[in-house]
Chain A
């Protein structure tokens, strides 16, 4: 028993070092004076300055943020309606179809999703003249679709756990289904909606493959710019960018954790 737990402990430590060492190295070498990314040449913040003087990166970051914000919002709306329909509605004709379509994007290789959406947009353009060229709109549609799949996973598990009796109580008191949904269900699942939104937002901000397929000239997202830089070799300003992203994400997670423990405490009182 003792020997096995020592083995487990070793594997645990190894696993977490494996997960975090690359991220730590990105942060450490972002403060490196030297242009060689992996040789330490003294502390410096010059790559951050370089980053903020790079108009290409700044513009791409702004485009990515706008796309992520809009697509996460659409994804949460579709994900919420889809989850609600699948969990709360009794059998309907397209139920298994909807359930399949909402989970399939989770495992579909990105190259296939990207190619298929691009070909759809081209075909639609030929048939009805919409969406009028490729760019931000087509990326937003693509990201909303796979974001909705991730959002649905988070929201469905919350809906399954939710106490049904409060919905029933509201119904018994004469509230219409729409009212029950907006006044009872929605407030109860609000934290899940928030984490679903954050998840869809991060995924959109992170996506390279799908965006590359459905994007057009003039709409280069941040991952597309990073990828073309990284393909030419490592560059320290990418490390600086990574550190900023890691910092923002950690901050967001800490705030969310604090929020959660506070709401847990207030509900315990």
Chain B
């Protein structure tokens, strides 16, 4: 039951993010659309409204509220921020927002020409903005490509040492067609996916060499390596565990991507951006 609820929330959140198509074509200078939340659990703190209501609300907001409260509810010359507003944050289904808009205090600032149904939609839009604001946003892909491809090529073939393992006509052929520019940049630093390099292709995973007291050496994928035990998946597919004490048996970990770790520690941002620009030419 719990997982079903999470799926439901996740689905609604994803839909909402898509609707941020409303956000997806923001005026120049505004942040791009993106998954606001950090996963369904976080979105679960905020009420998610239907994409249709958010879309209608976006249009109604712009025609009714935007003049005073600014683009995307961030506050304008005549009205305060509505995203971090206590009225918005305490609102349930437009009730509190409608009461505020119809109330005496707001009447002093000006009459709002909107139906009750439109105010409910505007509330839905503002709630979608709260979720968006609480998130991290997306990388602005069109602005990542700032490097010099020629300089990147020079670094690739020279100081970077990339050409020792890679070539544009070999294992990097067409790489720019496979990945967006930010992913190209991420992967040139560390090809394993995810922060910390999780999710690597099996061929890139570190492997372990264990030296048994007899002198025999075995290689395998390190399943678990602690001070007290080591478990490897051996080359024949079997899994084996040994007890360890004071570093015996000896276990050495070899990372096929060690060159990337070494480069990571000396790579300047200029060189990284130039390399990205060079990789982006490899369509």
Asked whether A and B interact, the reply is no
> A interface vs B, CB < 8 Å?
none
> B interface vs A, CB < 8 Å?
none
